[in-house]
Structure 1
Amino acid sequence: MPSNSSTFVAGLTAAALAAVGFLGYQASANAPADLGGRQSGGAPANGTHQDRRNPAALPAGSGAGERVVYSLAGDRVWLVGPGDAVTRTFRVAPGSVDPLPGRYVVTSRSGAVTGTDGTPIEHVVRFTTEQGATIGFSAALDGSMPEPDPTVRTGGIRETVADGAAMWTFATIGRGVVVVP
């Protein structure tokens, strides 16, 4: 017979899976239909949200309006301006803790601080906290984009210095951030 704590953990796991599934459904249900082998629901015919033929293409199901879009699987960011036009896209190096897929807003910013890995960083744009780690975009002053240490909880999503400057200009407090799988 399972203990009360294992029943509790199983219940939490089921609730977390349900929440992630619901967020995925919400994202795909709000996606506009487009061309290029996509189903009418906006998802590619292969069932993923990323266009495998063009990895730099804005993912279907990433919402509408001016926003930052971050793809967990693609380690890529899109800055989406008026009329859903992509103004910039670039690769990033994630921290050891990922945000959950969903919709967020920029909650705080810092011009220059020291990252959790001890590296001086600039243009920090934060949007959530997960597993005790603050999640946000930043650029290392030395231009490095190291692999995260899996033994340390870091939520810093590293950008190049140039991409960090573009993010800083675009992602002001309250700007939407959409995280896709």
Structure 2
Amino acid sequence: MAGLTAVAVAAVAFLAYQASASAPAPSELAADSRTPSVAPTATTTGKPKPPPQKDPITLPEGSGTGERVVYALDDRRVWLVDAKNKITKTFTVMPSTVSPLPGNYAVTSRAGTVRGSDGVQIEHVVRFAITQEAVIGFSAAVDGSMPSPDPSKKTGGVRMKRADADAMWAFASIGAKVVVVP
């Protein structure tokens, strides 16, 4: 019996090595060309995947026009865009385990400081979607941390650095447009 176990472990290790050796580098990944949905809800994901390396200066296709917050799920990036379609700020974020589907949203509520659904004290909370699993919004941890979320918890906090949350707070008031793209 021990011999069969050893053979099985060796086979799994060999297959894992082959898979890791043939995986493409982030720079080889192709850009996603899907267009956003117009009927947003939410989806639950496991641990967030690392973002592809794209040009942060270029707005994603299908992100709309006019003043808005653009949130690209695959890029794990946010753009604050003024009424003249000019990017005023862009930054990376750490998504949570529950993400909104691509589509158009509006900021529904804000809070200066609260405790997040993961138990962390957060500030400059800008909420824009509610699902059966979680309230989804942008925020920063008061301690400045941006850890990967616990995949066993259903949380909707899209975390960012404190300076980025300050910019979001100043930019996105109640009713502000939020466009989520793949």
Q: Which of 1 and 2 has greater Rg? A: 2
Percent of aligned pairs with the same amino acid: 59
Q: Runs (4+) of structure 1 moved beyond 3 Å?
A: none
Task: Provide the rounded CA distance (Å) in 2 between the counterparts of 1:74 and 1:105.
Answer: 21
Structure 2 counterpart of 1:71: 72
Q: Does the 8 A contact of 1:79 with 1:167 survive in 2?
A: yes
Cα deviation, residue 63, structure 1: 0.3
Task: Provide the rounded CA distance (Å) in 1 between the counterparts of 2:110 and 2:122.
Answer: 12
Task: Provide the rounded CA distance (Å) in 2 between the counterparts of 1:169 and 1:72.
Answer: 22
Task: Provide the rounded CA distance (Å) in 1 between the counterparts of 2:55 and 2:175.
Answer: 30
Structure 2 counterpart of 1:154: 155
Task: Provide the rounded CA distance (Å) in 2 between the counterparts of 1:83 and 1:55.
Answer: 18
Kindly provide the CA deviation profile for residues 6-62 of structure 1, in whole angstroms up to 9, marking residues without a partner as x.
Answer: xxxxxxxxxxxxxxxxx7366xxxxxxxxxxxxxxxxxxxxxxxx965244210110
Number of residue pairs the alignment of both structures matches: 136
Match of 1:98, SS state, is strand
Match of 1:162, SS state, is helix
Structure 1 counterpart of 2:36: 24
Task: Provide the rounded CA distance (Å) in 2 between the counterparts of 1:94 and 1:154.
Answer: 9
Cα deviation, residue 117, structure 1: 1.2
Letter in 2 for 1:154: T
Structure 2 vs 1, CA of residues 118 and 103 (structure 1 numbering), >3 Å: closer, same or farther? same
Task: Provide the rounded CA distance (Å) in 2 between the counterparts of 1:133 and 1:124.
Answer: 14
Match of 1:59, SS state, is coil
Q: Does the 8 A contact of 2:56 with 2:90 survive in 1?
A: no
RCO greater where, 1 or 2, for CA within 8 Å and sep 6 or more? Answer: 2
Task: Provide the rounded CA distance (Å) in 1 between the counterparts of 2:65 and 2:151.
Answer: 34
Task: Provide the rounded CA distance (Å) in 1 between the counterparts of 2:71 and 2:98.
Answer: 14
Letter in 2 for 1:168: W
Q: Does the 8 A contact of 2:70 with 2:179 survive in 1?
A: yes
Task: Provide the rounded CA distance (Å) in 2 between the counterparts of 1:53 and 1:135.
Answer: 25
Unaligned residue ranges in structure 1 (runs of 5+): 1-22, 27-50
Structure 2 counterpart of 1:92: 93
Larger deviation, residues 54-63 vs 67-76: 54-63
